[in-house]
Amino acid sequence: MTVVLSNSTHLMASEGKEFDIEDDATLGTDIKEKMAKQRQLLNARLGLDVAAKLGFDTSSFFSNDDLMASNEKQESTSNNSPVVKKNLREVISCTKEGLSSREMNRAKRKARQAVNKQRSRETADENGGEEPERKKTKTEFKEEYAIQFDVEAGDAGDWPLEWFCDQLSQDLFSSCWETRHGAATALREVLTVHGSGAGKATYLSESQMEENHQIWLEDMSIRLLCVLALDRFGDFVSDAVVAPVRETCAQALCGVLKLMNSPSCNHVLRILLQLLDHQEWETRHGGLLGLKYLLAVREDMIDSFLPQSFPFILKGLSDAVDDVSAVAASALIPIAKKLTELVPGSIPQVVNKLWDLLSEQDELTAACNSFMGLLAAILNLPDVQTLLPPQPLNEVVPRLWPFLSHSTSSVRKATLQTLCTLTEKPRDGTCIQWDAQLLQDAMRHVFQRVLVEPNPEGRNVSEKVWNNLVMNSGLVELLHAACPFITVWLFLSMQPVKVPFDPNFLIHTKSQRRKNNADGLQSFNHTVVPPKLYIGGSETTPIAVRDINAVQVRCMTARMLGLLSCYIVKPAPGMDYSAGVEKPIDCYEKVILAHINSKSALQRMMTGLVIAEWAKRETEIKAENIILTALKDSSTAYTPALTSTCTFDEIAHSFTRLAQETRDFVATLKHYKVPIPAENDSVFTLQHIQQLTGTETQQMILKFKMRMKLQDDLEERRRSIHSSVLQTSNEQLMLSVSSLAALSGAIVMFRALPEKLTPVVKPLMESIRRESDENLQKITAEHLAILLDQCRQRNPCPNEKILANLCTFLRCDPEFTPVIHKGQPNHSTNNIDAAVTKFGNYNGIVTLNNQQRNAERAAFKRSNSTGRGRGRPPTTDIPLEELFKEEDDTQRINGIQRRGATLTLIAITKAFWRRPAE
C-alpha cells in the first residue's frame, strides 16, 4: 500500500481531456486563437456563458496563464525529469512478485486466445479484399466460435463469473469515475449473491478450493483498498458532500469481508489503519469508510477489532476536515452498544469530544447529522449514565438549540432524542437541577418544534421531551418558566393554517461559527433570511401537508398544555394566599374563560381540548380536592357556550362580502319593482340571505315581465349569491360542530354533567356524524365512551338511544354495508320485469360488486379510454357513468358517519371490555 500511494496517480473524476483542444488545422499555430478557443470551451462546460448573459463578469475567474499552465508544467517536467507517477494498473502489475496456479492457468488461457486471434487476423490478411462479403462474415464467425470454444474448454469447471469479475476489477482503476462506480456497484451485487463460489473450481480438492477462494478474496480486497486510497472524486447531494466511488467500494469490500477468514480480515484492518495516518484527507476518508463497514459486518471479531481501531477513530473525530470526522462518528453508531463493554473508560472522552464538536460546528454543516446521531446513540444506552460524570446541563443543553431548526429531519430527531435522555428523571428520584431561565428556553424550543415540525416522528419525540420537562423539573422552576408564556403558547396553538407565525413570539438561536481563515471569505455575509413558519411546517412544506399536520399539531399541543395546566394551578411553595392574593387557578380560569367567550371557533375548540386534557390528567395525578372542586364549579361557565349561536370570526370576511352583495341585489330588485318574498331586514343572517336567494325569488324573477338580458343578469346574481351562502353556511356548520364537540368533551371530562344532557350529547353525536377530520373524531369517540360510563346510573338513561344511533351510523354506507330488502318474489308475467328482479346467490354481495367494478374499470382503461368506435358493442356490462362515477357528497357523508361510529364503538369496547355485563 505504501508503494501504491507513493507511485500511483490519483483517480480523479476524469482524465481531463474533455477540456483540451483537439488539433484543428484551421486554428493554425497561433496561441491566441487556441487560448480563445479553450476559454470558449471552458465557459460552455462550466456554464459561465449563461452567467455572462446575466451580467456577471466572468473574465477574472481564470486567465490565459491558467490555461497554459498544463503545457508549461509538462515542459518543465520533461526538462527536469523527476519521478513520474504511473497509472494504478501499472503499479499493481509491477508489485506482483509471482503468480499463483490459478493466475498462471488464466494467463495461459489468455495467451491461447491471443494466438487464435492473431491466426485469424493473418488468415484474413492473406485472403485480401477480394473475398466476397459472405465469406468474410463466415470467417469472422469461425474466429469468434473458435475463441468461444477455447475459452469454454479452458474454463471448464471454473467459477462462471470469474471472467466477468476480472473485467470489473480492471474497470475499478479507470480514470472515469462513472466506470469505477459502475464496476464497484456490480462487484458489490455479485459478491453479495454469488461471492461464496469466487475462485473455486470443480477440478480442485476441497482444501485447494478454499485456498483459491481466500486468494481471490484477498486480491479483490487489495484492489478495492487501492481505490479507497486513491479515489479523489466528490459530488454534492442536497447540502452534503458525498464520495460515491469510495462509498460503493467500501460496500463492495463489505461483501468481501463477509467471506474472508480471520487472518485476512486482520490484514485488511492493518491496511485500513495505515490509510488513516495518510496526509491527504481523501485517503483518510476512504480508510474510515472501509473501517465502518468492517466493524459493522464482522460482529464476530468486534472484540478484537474495536480496541485496535478505536484510538484511530477517536483521532478521526478531531480531524480538521468535516467529512472525515463525520465518517468517524458514523462508524461508531452501529456498534454503540459495544462501547460500554469493550472501551467503557473512553466513553466520557467520546461524549465530551462530541459536545465540543457541536459547539464548534455550524448548524448547517452536514457532519452534524453524524455527531448528533452518535451522541444520541450513546446517551440512550441503558448503562451509560453510570459511566458518565454528571452532565452540566447549563453548559451542554444550550449547544443543542441551533440543531433543533436544522434543515435535515434526522438531525432534529437526534437532537430531540438527546434532549429526551438528558431530561429523564435522575436515578435518585430527585428533580432535575437547572435554572428557571434554561428551563424556560427549553420549553419554548420544544413547544415551537411541535408547532412547526412537519415530520410526525419528530413531533412524537418532542412531546416526550415536553413531558420530561414538566414532570421532572422542580415546581418553583417550572412556575417561573411556564407562567409568563402559558398564554403565548395557548395563543400560538390557535394560529390559522394560512397565516405565518409572528417571529416576535418565537425563539431563535444561532451557533457561533468557526472562523474561516481562507482568503476572500472574511467579508462574505453569511446572513440567511429564515423561511416563514406556519403551523404544521414552514413555507417550503407543501400546503396539503401543512393542512393535514395542523389538526395533529393542535391535538398534541392540547395534550401538552393540559399536562402543564395540572402544575401551574398549584400554589407556589412559600406563598401566602390568605392576604387577598389571587390564587393561580383563579388567574388561569380567567384566561380560559376569555377564549371560551370569544367569537372564534378555533379559540373555543382549542380551549375545550386543553380543558379536557387538563381534567383527564387531574384524575391521574390525584390532585387536591380543592382543585377538583374549583374545576367543577368553573365548568358551569362553559355550559352557556354550548347553546350560544354567533357568526364566527373565521367566516366574518366572507359573511361581510356576502351581506353587501345581498344588499345590492335586494336594492336592484326594488329598483325594478320585483316583489321580494321574504322580509327585508336591515341586519342579514345566513338563513335570511339563503331565504332571499332561494327558489321563491327565482320564480318571482322568471314570472316578472322584464327584458330578457336583465332577467338573465338578475338570475345569475341570485345563483352566485345562493351558491356562496350555501358554502359559507357549511363552513359555519363545520366550525360549530368542532368547537361545540370540544366544549362538550371538556364538560364530560370534568364529570360535571348538567341535568339536561341534550346540550352535551348532541354536539358529540354531531361530531361523530359530520366531523371530517379523523383526529378530532377519535377524541370525540373517547369522550362519548366516557359519557356512557357516567350515564349508567341515570334515569332515564340515554345510553340505549346513543348506541342505536351509532349502529344506524355504522350501517348507513351502502358501499360498505349491503342493503337487504325484505320482499316477496315477483310473480309478474312480464318477462322483462322478471329478468330485472331475478334472485341469485351472488346478488347483493358488496365485496363482489366492488371487485367486479374495479376489475372492469382497470380493463376499460387498458383497452381504450376513447371507446370502441361506432357500432361496436361495449367492453363491459356496467354503464360507464356507473363505472367511473366520482364520490358525491352523500357517499362522503356516509363514509364519515361510518368511520365515526367505528371509532366510537372501538372506544366503548376499550372502556367496557373488563365489564361486559354493564
Q: Which residue has the higher pLDDT, 159 or 24?
A: 159
Is residue 714 within 8 A of residue 668, CB to CB? The reply is: yes
Closest alpha carbon to 292 in 316, 318, 261, 320: 316
Burial pattern 693-730, b for ≥16 Cβ within 10 A else e, equals: beeebbebbeeeeeeeeebeebeebbeebbebbeebbe
- Cα-to-chain-centroid distance, residue 573: 45
Alpha helices in 795-845 (DSSP H): 799-810, 831-836
Q: Residue range 638-650: average pLDDT?
A: 71
SS3 793: coil
Radius of gyration of the chain (CA): 39
Q: What separation in angstroms does the CA of 574 have from each of 27, 165, 476, 585, 625? A: 94, 79, 10, 17, 20
Rounded CA separation 337/279 (Å): 31
Q: Which residues contact 228 (CB under 8 A, 6 or more apart)?
A: 246, 249, 250, 253, 275, 283, 286, 287, 289, 290
Whether the per-residue pLDDT at 332 is higher than 60: the answer is: yes
Nine-digit cell at 186? 456490480
Q: Which residue has the higher pLDDT, 678 or 334?
A: 334
Nine-digit cell at 221? 480486497
SS3 917: coil
DSSP string, 224-246: HHHHHHHB---EEETTEEE-HHH
Whether the per-residue pLDDT at 827 is higher than 50: the answer is: no
Cα-based angle 345, 350, 352 (whole degrees, multiple of 5): 110
Q: What separation in angstroms does the CA of 114 have from each of 94, 101, 107, 121, 150? A: 22, 20, 10, 11, 11
Q: Which of 32-41, 431-440, 516-525, 882-891 has the lowest mean pLDDT?
A: 516-525
Closest alpha carbon to 27 in 37, 15, 40: 37
Is residue 404 within 8 A of residue 439, CB to CB? The reply is: no
Residue 829: the pLDDT is: 42
Residue 146: the pLDDT is: 37
Q: Which of 107-116, 367-376, 759-768 has the lowest mean pLDDT?
A: 107-116
Q: What tens digit of pLDDT does each residue of 733-789 get?
A: 999 999 999 999 998 988 888 888 888 899 999 999 999 999 999 999 999 999 999
Burial pattern 820-851, b for ≥16 Cβ within 10 A else e, equals: eeeeeeeeeeeeeeeeeeeeeeeeeeeeeeee
Q: Which long-range contacts (CB under 8 A, 24 or more apart) does 637-641 make?
A: 637/593, 637/596, 638/596, 638/608, 638/611, 638/743, 638/746, 638/747, 639/747, 639/754, 639/759, 641/596, 641/597, 641/604, 641/740, 641/743
Q: Which of 240-244, 390-394, 458-462 has the lowest mean pLDDT?
A: 240-244
Q: Which of 70-79, 220-229, 595-604 has the lowest mean pLDDT?
A: 70-79
pLDDT-based confidence at 251, cuts 50/70/90?
very high
Residue 460: the pLDDT is: 95
pTM: 0.77
Residue 509: the pLDDT is: 79
pLDDT-based confidence at 500, cuts 50/70/90?
very high
Which residues face 242 on adjacent strands? 235
Closest alpha carbon to 894 in 772, 785, 781, 731: 772
Nine-digit cell at 436? 428557571
Is residue 190 within 8 A of residue 161, CB to CB? The reply is: yes
Q: What separation in angstroms does the CA of 900 have from each of 786, 817, 905? A: 16, 15, 9
Share of the chain above pLDDT 70, in %: 73
Kindly report the backbone phi and psi dihedral angles of residue 534, in degrees, each rounded to the nearest multiple of 5, phi listed first: -120, 165
Q: Which residues contact 818 (CB under 8 A, 6 or more apart)?
A: 844, 845, 846
pLDDT-based confidence at 158, cuts 50/70/90?
confident
Residue 620: the pLDDT is: 56
Whether the per-residue pLDDT at 178 is higher than 60: the answer is: yes
Q: Residue range 516-525: average pLDDT?
A: 41
pLDDT-based confidence at 109, cuts 50/70/90?
low
Q: What tens digit of pLDDT does each residue of 179-228 get?
A: 999 999 999 999 999 999 988 888 888 898 999 999 999 999 999 999 98
Is residue 618 within 8 A of residue 630, CB to CB? The reply is: no
Q: Which residue has the higher pLDDT, 601 or 834?
A: 601
Q: What tens digit of pLDDT does each residue of 116-152 get?
A: 555 555 555 555 544 444 434 333 333 333 334 344 4
Residue 453: the pLDDT is: 94
Q: What tens digit of pLDDT does each residue of 279-318 get?
A: 888 899 999 999 999 999 988 899 999 999 999 999 999 8
SS3 538: strand
Is residue 584 within 8 A of residue 495, CB to CB? The reply is: no
Closest alpha carbon to 855 in 875, 837, 839: 875
pLDDT-based confidence at 407, cuts 50/70/90?
confident
Whether the per-residue pLDDT at 324 is higher than 80: the answer is: yes
Amino acid at 813: D
Whether the per-residue pLDDT at 578 is higher than 60: the answer is: yes
Rounded CA separation 369/413 (Å): 10
State the pairing for strand pair 533-534/240-242.
unpaired
Rounded CA separation 360/353 (Å): 11
Average pLDDT, the chain: 79
Burial (CB < 10 A; 0-12, 13-18, 19+), residue 150, is middle
Q: Which residue has the higher pLDDT, 587 or 110?
A: 587
Residue 900: the pLDDT is: 94
Q: What separation in angstroms does the CA of 210 have from each of 101, 255, 269, 861? A: 14, 17, 21, 57
Q: What tens digit of pLDDT does each residue of 676-705 get?
A: 766 656 678 888 888 888 888 888 888 888
Is residue 85 within 8 A of residue 9, CB to CB? The reply is: yes
Q: What separation in angstroms does the CA of 419 have from each of 422, 465, 468, 876? A: 5, 7, 10, 61
Nine-digit cell at 872? 361496436
Count Cα neighbours of 882 within 13 Å in the Cβ-side half-sphere: 9
Rounded CA separation 84/873 (Å): 80
Q: Which residues contact 172 (CB under 8 A, 6 or more apart)?
A: 180, 183, 184, 187, 223, 224, 226, 227, 249
Residue 885: the pLDDT is: 55
Residue 519: the pLDDT is: 38
Q: Residue range 18-30: average pLDDT?
A: 54
Q: Which of 497-501, 528-532, 620-624, 723-727 has the lowest mean pLDDT?
A: 620-624
Q: Which residues contact 527 (CB under 8 A, 6 or more apart)?
A: none
Residue 834: the pLDDT is: 41
Q: Which residue has the higher pLDDT, 628 or 905?
A: 905
Nine-digit cell at 238? 442536497
Rounded CA separation 371/380 (Å): 14
Residue 522: the pLDDT is: 41
Rounded CA separation 618/807 (Å): 33
Residue 202: the pLDDT is: 86
Q: Which residue has the higher pLDDT, 458 or 390?
A: 458
Whether the per-residue pLDDT at 37 is higher than 70: the answer is: yes
Q: What tens digit of pLDDT does each residue of 543-577 get?
A: 999 999 999 999 999 999 999 999 998 888 877 77
Residue 153: the pLDDT is: 39
Closest alpha carbon to 514 in 501, 530, 526, 496: 526
Report CA torsion sign: 56, 57, 63, 64. positive
DSSP state of 866: T
Q: Which residue has the higher pLDDT, 227 or 84?
A: 227
Q: Which residue has the higher pLDDT, 75 or 230?
A: 230
Residue 439: the pLDDT is: 93
Q: Which of 78-82, 238-242, 275-279, 863-867 has the lowest mean pLDDT?
A: 78-82
User: Could you tell me the end-to-end alpha-carbon distance of the chain, in angstroms, rounded to an integer?
Assistant: 80
Closest alpha carbon to 260 in 199, 309, 202: 199
Kindly report the backbone phi and psi dihedral angles of residue 11, in degrees, each rounded to the nearest multiple of 5, phi listed first: -95, 100
H or E stretch at 533:
strand 533-534
Is residue 763 within 8 A of residue 539, CB to CB? The reply is: no
Label residue 479 left, alpha or beta by phi (over 0 means left) and psi (-120 to 50 means alpha): alpha
pLDDT-based confidence at 830, cuts 50/70/90?
very low
